[in-house]
Chains A and B, each alone.
Chain A
Amino acid sequence: DIQMTQSPSSLSASIGDRVTITCRASQSISSYLNWYQQKLGKAPKLLVYAASSLRTGVPSRFSGSGSGTDFTLTISSLQPEDFATYYCQQSYSTPFTFGPGTKVDIK
């Protein structure tokens, strides 16, 4: 199975900060990488698919990049509604494993 890691596991940031979350796959997954946002007690929501494609309706302050084994989710200017846990997921080969998550909270 492909193992996914994320860093950092948590971070504290202020409104307006630029935030970068990194995801690494244990082998090359081309661009088969998705990002999800999960708020406490809620179901996850898709933010970015195929490494860099923004889901319709997701604010443009979110962006994804990378290919192969290294990927990044960037929030250009953190907003109050962005405090949540973010998960990457590879969809290159089953099982489509998730990363352990990165919790973003208020500094």
Chain B
Amino acid sequence: EVQLVESGGGLVQPGGSLRLSCAAFGFTFSNYWMTWVRQAPGKGLEWVANIKQDGSEKYYVDSVKGRFTISRDNAKSSLFLQMNSLRAEDTAVYYCASGSTYWLDPWGQGTLVTVSS
């Protein structure tokens, strides 16, 4: 069964850091682009970043550029999101997603990040 499982969320103070992980099961991870999408409480979906199969291309939404870094370890079928200088507006459920270059399928169940003092 194809499955994505996120971890690493939690409560962090403004200005702090957190590293999210996403473990992939049931498919050849190294063949797919991977993406992070977030959803603030009660709000819509926001595309955050994606990374090419070999890690050679990475793209970010402007609001996280310079603060977040997406990476992957194909040997461990894992995706990561290093989040630094966190702000209250980064509070959200963070989803990892696979699929083609152009659409997202499947998605993980999400991990909640809360930025608050």
A interface list, Cβ under 8 A from B? 1, 32, 34, 36, 38, 42-46, 49-50, 55, 87, 89, 91, 94-101
Does B62 contact A46, Cβ atoms closer than 8 Å?
A: no
Inter-chain contacts of B35 with A (CB < 8 A):
96
The distance in angstroms between the C-alpha atoms of A104 and B107, with both chains bound, is: 21
- Interface Cβ pair total, 8 Å cutoff: 64
A94 partner residues in chain B, CB cutoff 8 A: 47, 50, 59
Do A49 and B103 touch (CB < 8 A)?
yes
Q: In this complex, what residue of B is CB-closest to A97?
A: B47
Does B60 sit within 8 A of A, measured CB to CB? yes
Q: Which B residues contact A (CB, under 8 angstroms)?
A: 35, 37, 44-47, 50, 59-62, 95, 99-110
Q: How far is the CA of A91 from the CA of B101 in the complex (A)?
A: 8
Residue with the highest number of chain B CB atoms closer than 10 Å, among A38, A43, A99: A43
A45–B60 contact, CB under 8 A? Answer: no
Q: Is the pair B103, A98 in contact by a Cβ cutoff of 8 Å?
A: no
* Secondary structure of the A contact surface, majority rule: loop
A32, A45, A95, A99: residue with the most chain B Cβ atoms closer than 10 Å = A95
Given A89-B47, A95-B59, A95-B60; 4 other pairs, CB 8 A cutoff:
A46-B106, A49-B102, A87-B45, A98-B45
Q: When chains A and B are docked, how far (Å) is the Cα of A46 from the Cα of B102?
A: 12
